[in-house]
Structure 1
Amino acid sequence: MRSSFHSRYRYRKDYAADCEVVALVCLQGDDEHVAVYLLESGTVPSNVQIYEGGEWEAHREAWETALPRQWPLAA
């Protein structure tokens, strides 16, 4: 369940219906690189814990997830 902007009501968020990719952006410190995890919306559980070496590490900087399937990545 998600709270509205002013926390007046709660609603269920259906990422799979609303978008194809969910981007989790993790700020690590003032001078450190921002970590971006790109997850397909149909696979995102309600609780995601991001940490280095964790189960979501394969999705870190996985930009191919955000591109349409017919666009191959250039090396």
Structure 2
Amino acid sequence: MSLDLVTELFGHNDRVWCVRWHPSGHTLASCGADKTIRLWAKSLFVPSVQSSIPSETPVEPAVEPSTPENTI
């Protein structure tokens, strides 16, 4: 099996712990050791939203399906 590199995302300043696609397929969420969560717009692959994580504990982005927008 071979994999093709589609794009590289630049923004985190340290290790990335986890990435997840939103069910819509339009937004990618990433979180990492730089204590930030970033939302990436698929159309541009630039961070559209950034938020700080209050601890160094690894976290994973999750989708809340009970909200109308499937909040990340």
Same fold, judged at TM 0.5 (above): no
Q: Which protein is richer in strand relative to its size? A: 2
Task: Tell me: higher relative CO, structure 1 or 2? Use CA pairs within 8 A at least 6 residues apart.
Answer: 2
How high is the TM-score relative to the length of structure 2? 0.35
- Greater helix proportion: 1
Higher Cα Rg, which structure: 1
TM-score by length of 1: 0.34
